Structure 1
Amino acid sequence: MSKSKVNNVGDLLKHSLGEDVTVLSENTTLLTAPGEHYGSVMLALEVKIKRNTRGDEEVLHLVAKLIPASEMLRLAFDIPVTFKKEVFAYKETIPAMVRLQKEYGVPEEKHIDKLFPKCLGARLSVDENKNMVDEDAVLLFENLKIQGFITEDRLKGFDLSATTVILKDLARFHAVPIALKLLKPEVFKEKLLPAVVNNKGLEQLPPEVGQAFHNAIMDGARATPELEPYLDRIEKIVEYGRTHPWVLRTNPNEPWGTMSHADFWVSNTMILKDSNGTTIANKIVDLQLMRYWSCVCDLTFFLFTSVINSVLDEHFDEFLRVYHDSFIDTLKDFNIDLEPFSWEKFFEEFNTSGPTDLYHVLVMLKPICTERGKVTNSLEDFQDTDWSRKDLLGPNHRRKLRDTIFSIEKRGWLN
């Protein structure tokens, strides 16, 4: 059965709230529905605490991220490696980058920790001397939904205002690690690289699962009449992806190598809208798959998987400028030589490394566009068929695949 309770919450909270805290009660509910999240169990956790010295009580609205209940999902997401990476990121990597920003006098509102939900606790085990992920591994975050943040509809994608806000933050997410790499290489090696070590993935699962992801691209393309003229070129991308897995990407072109999210799509960032429906803020979530890749890989993956295609086509060049302007503005905080990061060199890197992520884009359209209600098994009962069944996909996948291929063609990348 899935865990419905987090052990030793009080001890975990004392690391962030201090020793003067007693947990009075806890209440948990499952946060995500089947087919919407796979890499972890997400619980909404309501904790009533007492501040012992003052005697006052407070209710904390939290989210607990636990390891998947299904052994298959633990294998698919390489949990012994990826959960450890995310715990390290929140406990060591992000604080190290904030220290660098403080050293250079960067205003607090620009600190990189503001890009993420506040983490109130992180552990691999209740045994603090244990450096292995076990059943008590957990990350505790503030519940962003209580503050009005939402996860956008994965079958819809982001509009102009949301994309603009998110791209500015994504650029900051990439630029601060680059500053750390250039200014304090030893700190970068000690405090950042452990958060971006490589992990295994779908190749560990039964062959039919990986093949289903692979086949979904060409099956969808062949079922879409408008894509008939592009089938040979799509198949070229698919075959390259089969023999050159994106997870085994070679070292990035420097100086563009950075802390790459490696899974930055609709469901891994949360947005806040004003009363007019305009996006005004964003929070990046789910850092467990991070890699050391070129920054343009995240950019490419996000744009083609997560932006409404009509918006993407109309504003593509504008989006690149928004990202680059924010990237440069962030580097300026550190008095770094900006010439290696000029617009011309960025644009060259985008057109060199960006196309290497196209297979990643096309493969991920399968889980992104899985029809609602098709996956009914709970996470502890998850089956490989919940990823491999052909009936999981329908018109939403064919539409998104068509529009994405058209968008890629407009960039001249469909060679």
Structure 2
Amino acid sequence: SKAPLHYFLVVSGGIHISLKRENVTNLDFMENCGGKKFEEFLECAIPPGDRLVRYSLNPCANCGPEIGLVTANAEIITQRINGKETLATVSVMVKACTKCDNFRQLFPNVLEVEISFYKYILPALKQFVVDQGGCKVLDFFPKFHGVFSSSQSDAYDEDAILLIENVEEPGQQVTYLQCPGYNFETTNNILRDLAIFHAVPIAFKSVNADKFIGQVIPHLQYRRTYQDMSEKLESELLDIAIKAARLSAEGEELLPRVVKAIGDNLLNFSTKDLQMESEQFLTIIHNNLYLDNVVAKFENDIHVENKFVGLNMLEYGSLARDLVFVLLMSVNMEVLKESYWEFIRGYYNTFISVLMELNCDTHQYTLELLQEEIRRMGGTMEFLHVMLTTSQLYGQQKDAQPIEDDTEVDLLSEVEQYERCLQRMHEIILFFGRASWI
């Protein structure tokens, strides 16, 4: 049978400009890490009182693209130790870095951030909430089972394997191009969890800065830079943005602002100077939170909970960047245009309530300051992020045969549904323009 393909971005000149497809049917390297028994590693995901009977490891054919990662699903068959109960199945997600040497040189710590989040950052945040007498449980992430590593210390091992709960039920997770976007209720629920995720680190930093700096900051990275973005990609991105803008007279009028915004965004991403982002709004940001990285659970067509996944791009940055990105990349455009201010107010109300619950002074967090931060981050940083990601996601739909490992496929020239991509980018341009973000 045709092997499932795992999509990931390769880098040329410092920025993802190409799409590469890697056949990942051979997962032996996952089972031979440091000579340890893989079965022993999987046992950490088994409920107490159960024993592992057998397991199967298969590539995730339906998982979203995660830069430089190979993702597999392990189906573990278990049985009660006394043998009297029937067999049960435990499904977990197994993640490791690709074995592509070129990619490892470009992104040596692609899994390190996610491992650090589960091992160090999330426990520190949860303990802070407990210490402050809060009730927020930060339960919108998959359960962490463990890290399989050949290293005998806490130092990061590039061959490490991460084991987490598999929160995606087969056939239920839809991708960016399969969904028209979130409705009002689902968007509000996601923004509620995002507000909690943003507020807890800010409260931690405010209440106990020394502990926050010691326990959290060392495990986060600052802004990725686009300083080596190739002239070819910049030219192609400008070309498709110009064509998208020209789909209407309103878009045509915005053309000078579109061109300027892309240039300014590139310049802003060429530095790691956090002074661009307001100090009071600096927190842990997902940095890639959109439809493919949110597993929304429904019961009887009612949205009941979320799980945020794809945590390998976490950064210390302005919360407004996450807000702009998730709204423009995940919400139905008509819903967004009608309910944008309700979404922002709902997010803000949850954000403030969490800060108050955690005994944090809220005087510097006004709705007006949040709106200004959103406007600034939208125009100075996230316009490029949204436009690049949109072109990337449409480009991934090309149904191609597996290619050689060292072959690059141009990202923007392989957009299969070119007209749909142009239309979506046109809607994004109009929204940014009407909001006066560009």
Return the alpha-carbon distance in structure 1 between the equivalents of residues 61 and 162 of structure 2.
16
Which among 197, 203, 219 is matched to residue 195 of structure 1? 219
Q: Distance in 1 between matches of 2:418 and 2:96?
A: 31
Q: Is the 8 A contact 1:202 1:209 kept in 2?
A: no
- What is the CA–CA distance in structure 1 between the aligned matches of 2:188 and 2:278, rounded to whole Å? 26
Q: Does 1:384 align with 2:413?
A: no
Q: SS of 1:115's equivalent?
A: coil
The answer to whether the Cα contact below 8 Å between 1:72 and 1:205 also exists between their aligned partners in 2 is no
Letter in 1 for 2:300: S
Match of 1:104 in 2: 132
Letter in 1 for 2:145: L
Q: Counterpart amino acid of 1:259?
A: I
Which residues in structure 2 correspond to 1:303-322 (within 5 Å)? 303-322=327-346
- 1:163 Cα deviation (Å)? 0.9
SS of the aligned residue for 2:306 comes to: strand
Cα deviations by residue, 1:88-119 (Å, 9 ceiling, x for unpaired): 11000000111111122223xx211x010111
- Work out the CA distance in 1 between the residues paired with 2:329 and 2:173: 18
Residue 365 (1) aligns with residue 365 (2): no
Indicate the SS of the match to 1:373: coil
The answer to which of 383-392 and 91-100 deviates more is 383-392
State the partner residue of 1:62: 92
- Work out the CA distance in 1 between the residues paired with 2:271 and 2:417: 24
Residues 104-143 of structure 1: pairs in structure 2 closer than 5 A? 104-107=132-135, 110-112=136-138, 114-123=139-148, 125-129=149-153, 131-135=155-159, 137-143=160-166
Asked whether 1:266 is paired with 2:295, we answer: no
Is the CA contact (8 Å cut-off) linking 1:217 and 1:363 kept in structure 2?
Answer: no
CA distance in 2, matches of 1:209, 1:64: 33
Partner of 1:86: 114
Aligned residue pairs, count: 405
Whole-angstrom distance in 2 between the partners of 1:351 and 1:225: 24
Pick the aligned partner of 1:28 from 42, 54, 57.
57
Any conservation in 2 of the 1:117–1:144 contact (CA below 8 Å)? yes
Residue 165 of structure 1, CA deviation? 0.9
For 1:25 and 1:91, how far apart are their aligned partners in 2? 27
Q: CA deviation at 1:403?
A: 0.9
CA distance in 2 between counterparts of 1:350 and 1:412 reads 11
Instruction: Write the distance in 2 (CA, Å) between the matches of 1:209 and 1:130.
Output: 39
* Amino acid in the other structure paired with 1:66: A
How many angstroms apart in 1 are the aligned matches of 2:65 and 2:128? 36
| Paired position in structure 2 for 1:145 | 168
* Contact in 1 for aligned 2:113/2:220 (Cα 8 Å): yes
Could you list the per-position Cα deviations for residues 123-174 of structure 1 after superposition, in whole angstroms to 9, with x for gaps in the alignment?
Answer: 4x33333724333x22212221239862443453222122111111111110
> Which sits farther off after the overlay, 66-75 or 321-330?
66-75
Give the direction of change, closer, same or farther, for the CA distance of 1:375–1:235 in structure 2 (3 Å limit).
Answer: farther
Classify 1:214/1:16 alpha carbon distance in 2 versus 1 (closer, same or farther; 3 Å): farther
* More deviation, 340-349/26-35: 26-35
Alignment of 1:9-408 (within 5 A): 9-13=38-42, 22-33=51-62, 36-49=65-78, 52=81, 58-71=88-101, 73-74=103-104, 78=107, 80-107=108-135, 110-112=136-138, 114-123=139-148, 125-129=149-153, 131-135=155-159, 137-146=160-169, 150-154=173-177, 156-198=180-222, 200=224, 208=232, 212-213=236-237, 215-222=239-246, 227-245=251-269, 248=272, 250-251=274-275, 252-276=277-301, 278-356=302-380, 357-370=382-395, 372-377=397-402, 381=405, 383-392=407-416, 394-408=418-432
Q: 1:353 to 1:13 in 2, by over 3 A?
A: same
More moved, 345-354 vs 92-101 = 345-354
8 A contact 1:31–1:42 mirrored in 2: yes
Give the structure 1 partner of residue 27 of structure 2.
Answer: 4
Seq. identity, %:
22
Output the CA distance in 2 between the equivalents of 1:386 and 1:66: 25
Q: Distance in 2 between matches of 1:140 and 1:409?
A: 43
Q: Give how far 1:393 is off.
A: 5.1
Contact 2:289/2:325, CA 8 A, preserved across alignment = yes
Deviation at 1:410, TM superposition (A): 1.9
Which structure has greater strand proportion? 2
Change (3 A) 1:260 1:353: same
Contact kept? 1:61, 1:146, Cα under 8 Å: no
The amino acid of 1:370's aligned partner reads G
How far did residue 212 of structure 1 move? 4.3
Q: C-alpha distance in 1, partners of 2:229/2:253?
A: 34
Deviates more, 1:11-20 or 1:324-333: 11-20
> TM-score scaled by structure 1?
0.86
Asked whether the equivalents of residues 216 and 363 of structure 1 are also in contact (C-alpha less than 8 Å), the reply is no
Distance 1:307 1:246 in 2: 29
Report the CA distance between 1:21 and its aligned residue.
6.6
- Matches of 2:289 and 2:220, distance apart in 1: 14
**Residue 369 of structure 1: SS of its match in structure 2?**
helix
Q: 1:205 to 1:64 in 2, by over 3 A?
A: farther
**TM-fit CA distance, 1:16:** 6.1
5+ residue gaps, structure 2, are 1-22, 32-36
Give the TM-score normalised by the residue count of structure 2.
0.82
- Structure 1 residue identity aligned to 2:40: D
RMSD: 3.1
Gap runs ≥5 in structure 1: none
One-letter amino acid of the structure 2 residue matched with residue 68 of structure 1:
T
Tell me which amino acid in the other structure corresponds to 2:283. Answer: T
